[in-house]
Amino acid sequence: MLIILVLANAAFFLAMQLNSAPGGATRNAEPLLSEQKIKLLKGSEGDDAKVQPTTEPEKIPVKQDPLVATAVQATVSAPAPAPAIAKPEPLQCLEWGEFSGSELLKAKKVLSEFKLGEKLSQREVEYATSYWVYMPPLKDRKAVIRKVREIKKLGITEYFAVNTPDKWANAISLGVFKTREAAENHLEHLKTKGIRTAIVGDRGIKLNATWFLLNGVDQEVRARLETRQKDFSASELINATCTLTKKDEIGKMPRSSR
Answer whether residue 194 is part of any domain.
yes
Contacts of 43 (CB under 8 A, 6+ apart): 49
Answer whether residue 12 is part of any domain.
no
pLDDT tens profile 93-143: 999 998 988 889 999 999 999 999 999 999 998 887 789 999 999 999 999
Q: Are residues 118 and 100 in the same domain?
A: yes
Which residue type is seen at 98?
E
CB 206 within 8 A of CB 131: no
Quote the Cα angle for 173-231-207, to 5°.
35
CATH code for position 184:
3.30.70
Answer whether residue 4 is part of any domain.
no
User: Would you call 213 helix, strand, or coil by DSSP?
Assistant: strand
Q: Are residues 198 and 242 in the same domain?
A: no
Q: Are residues 134 and 116 in the same domain?
A: no
Q: Is 184 buried (19+), middle (13-18) or exposed (0-12) by CB count in 10 A? A: middle
Question: What is the count of structural domains for the chain?
Answer: 2
Answer whether residue 45 is part of any domain.
no
Is residue 55 predicted with pLDDT exceeding 50?
yes
The pTM of this model reads 0.48
Maximum Cα–Cα distance for the chain, whole Å? Answer: 189
Instruction: Please give the residue range of the domain that contains residue 246.
Output: 89-125+207-258
Q: Are residues 142 and 182 in the same domain?
A: yes
Of 159 and 10, more confident: 159
Of 117 and 11, more confident: 117
Residue 89: predicted pLDDT: 72
Of 171 and 204, more confident: 171
Residue 178: predicted pLDDT: 82
Residue 62: predicted pLDDT: 54
> What is the SS3 assignment for 122-165?
EEEEEECCCEEEEECCCCCHHHHHHHHHHHHHCCCCCCEECCCC
pLDDT tens profile 70-87: 555 655 555 667 777 767
CA distance 220 to 229: 14
Answer whether residue 174 is part of any domain.
yes
Q: How confident is the model at residue 179 (pLDDT cuts 50, 70, 90)?
A: confident
Which residue type is seen at 140?
D
Average pLDDT value over all residues in the chain: 76
Q: Are residues 140 and 198 in the same domain?
A: yes
Nearest to 255 by CA among 162, 146, 123, 157: 123
pLDDT tens profile 215-254: 999 999 999 999 999 888 778 999 998 865 434 444 444 4
Residue 258: predicted pLDDT: 38
Residue 33: predicted pLDDT: 46
Q: How confident is the model at residue 61 (pLDDT cuts 50, 70, 90)?
A: low
Residue 108: predicted pLDDT: 95
Can you say how many angstroms the Cα of residue 28 is from the centroid of all Cα atoms in its chain?
94
CA distance 144 to 160: 10
| Segment among 53-67, 130-144, 199-213, 224-238 with least mean pLDDT | 53-67
Q: Are residues 139 and 189 in the same domain?
A: yes
Q: Are residues 106 and 166 in the same domain?
A: no
Q: Are residues 229 and 189 in the same domain?
A: no
Answer whether residue 105 is part of any domain.
yes
Q: Are residues 193 and 214 in the same domain?
A: no
Q: Are residues 179 and 221 in the same domain?
A: no
User: Would you call 181 helix, strand, or coil by DSSP?
Assistant: helix
Cis geometry, peptide bond prior to residue 98 (ω within 30 degrees of 0): yes
